[in-house]
Amino acid sequence: MRITLVVILATMCAPAAAWAQSDTTVLFIGNSFTYGHGSPVRFYRSDTVTDLNNTGIGGVPALFKSFTDQIGSDYDVYVETQPGSGLDFHLENRLGTIGRRAWDAVVMHGQSTLDFEDPGNPAKLIDTSGRIADFLHASNPSVEVHLMATWSRADQTYRPEGAWAGQPIDAMAKEVRAGYDQAAQASAAITSVVPVGEAWNRAMETGVADSNPYDGIEFGTVSLWTYDYYHASTYGYYLEALVVFGRLTGRDPRSLGDHECSAFELGLSRQEAGALQQVAFDTLVSAADGLTPAPFVLDNPASLARCVGRR
């Protein structure tokens, strides 16, 4: 059986372990937080996914595709993105693209502050996510629609003009998550919220990631933000993809192992990859996602040479 899965970034999804043995199609719909602005992830392995807008994007969808290939699952991954947009843009301009087929699942996310004109107000997200979910259900009543809650922006927290200025760095992600929760609760057509922002918070709380890029990066930590302190770095997008992977497949992100090929190809150390996989796992477990602990364990760790030249 051929299963079709759409991912429109904006909230959270239930485990999809039942799809693991199927030829599954995934469509990511979002903005620069999906396509990896500000990092090598943007055009990473773009030949492994289908960009419906023909802009050559690989992004987080290509990371997801790489992860699923490495666990032996057959996923066809599609991308539909627009920079600087919320779900209102996709609702008004891209339904023809989104509606080309009856998808089995969708993961989508909105604008990073919830609303350009009124940061922190979830009203627009609640309205637009529900309308897109209803549109998708009209084509396939069994479609799973997952919203992805995004992260705290350092520029919105540490800069005096930021909407979350003066608050702790985790505050924005918590408020964004609350908005996505309201959107999910308002529509029976929405399945869940993917806790990416919470994974960022956890990475900072546990000392895996630095919490303030404006005062330098603490030795032994990574920066989840790129140069604009707004978008993600390679580390941030890698963590995003791990959380999405765990939610959609129902697999422990640690099952990829610290010798995971995308981390190697993008320049992460084995220690960094392993630490971010642990953060993703702990976040999903704390969100009661029902993951079965299954870390990758080998007496003699696999050689990273196997990653070289892979298709």
Over its length of 311 residues, how does the chain's per-residue pLDDT go in tens digits?
A: 444 444 444 333 334 443 334 478 888 999 999 999 999 999 999 999 989 999 999 999 999 999 999 999 988 889 899 999 999 999 999 999 999 888 888 889 999 999 999 999 999 999 999 999 999 899 889 888 999 999 999 999 999 999 999 999 999 999 999 999 999 999 999 999 999 999 999 999 999 999 999 999 999 999 999 999 999 999 999 999 999 999 988 999 999 999 999 999 999 999 999 999 999 999 999 987 667 788 876 545 566 777 877 87
HEC assignment per residue over 5-34: CCEECCCECCCCHHHCCCEEEEEEEECHHH
What's this model's pTM, rounded to 2 decimal places?
0.91
pLDDT (0 to 100) of residue 4: 46
pLDDT (0 to 100) of residue 258: 92
pLDDT (0 to 100) of residue 7: 44
> Could you report the per-residue pLDDT of 24-82, keeping only the tens digit for each?
888 899 999 999 999 999 999 999 998 999 999 999 999 999 999 999 998 888 989 99
Residues contacting residue 108 through CB under 8 Å, at least 6 positions apart:
7, 8, 9, 10, 11, 29, 30, 87, 90, 129, 132, 145, 146, 147, 148
pLDDT (0 to 100) of residue 17: 40
Quick check: 124 and 115 in contact, CB under 8 A?
yes
Amino acid 117 reads E
Distances 301 to 80, 127, 200, 305 between C-alpha atoms, Å? 37, 48, 28, 12
Q: What is the CATH number of domain 2-307?
A: 3.40.50.1110
Structure-block tokens of residue 80:
């539909």
- The rounded mean pLDDT for the chain is 89
- H helices present in 12-145, as ranges: 32-35, 59-70, 87-93, 95-98, 123-139
* 218 sits in which H/E element: none
> Could you report the per-residue pLDDT of 209-229, keeping only the tens digit for each?
999 999 999 999 999 999 999
Task: With H, G, I as helix, E, B as strand and everything else as coil, classify residue 222.
Answer: strand
d(CA 270, CA 274): 6
